[in-house]
Amino acid sequence: MLSVACSNAEKVTVTANPVTSSGRPAKFDGALRVTVQSGDGTVEQDPTLPNSFKAVSGDVPGTTVYLVEADVDLGAGVTDISDTVELVVSGENAAAFGLVAGVVEPK
């Protein structure tokens, strides 16, 4: 499991770099398949970046768990591997007062 943190105004790019059991570079047969297992977050995927996705925070602080799956059989068959990503979301902090003046009125 990979655990990352961000505020509820942010998103995080997650990239898979597959390796064999001996640590050598490997490939997937197709793009990652990513689904939200729990939480308020969503997923953005770019078809031109098949080994990556953006874990998008929800509006409410909390934890979103993403299931990441991929086919590692480069032939006609399907052999899936999977892992999870945990996105821990905090509330965005105030950065300015945002002061405004009201209408001038008599004393």
Strand 33-38: give its sheet, edge to edge.
2-7, 80-90, 62-71, 33-38
Q: Which amino acid is at 106?
A: P
Element (H, E) at 6: strand 2-7
| Overall pTM > 0.85 | yes
What 3-state DSSP class applies to 82?
Answer: strand
Q: Which CATH class is domain 2-90?
A: mainly beta
Domain ranges of the chain: 2-90
Q: Which of 81, 33, 84, 89 is nearest to 56 (CA)?
A: 89
**How would you write the pLDDT of the chain (107 residues) with one tens digit per residue?**
999 999 999 999 999 999 999 999 999 999 999 999 999 999 999 999 999 999 999 999 999 999 999 999 888 888 899 999 999 999 999 899 999 999 999 99
With b meaning 16 or more CB within 10 Å and e meaning fewer, what string describes 76-97?
eeeeeeeeebbbebeeeeeeee
What 3-state DSSP class applies to 77?
Answer: coil
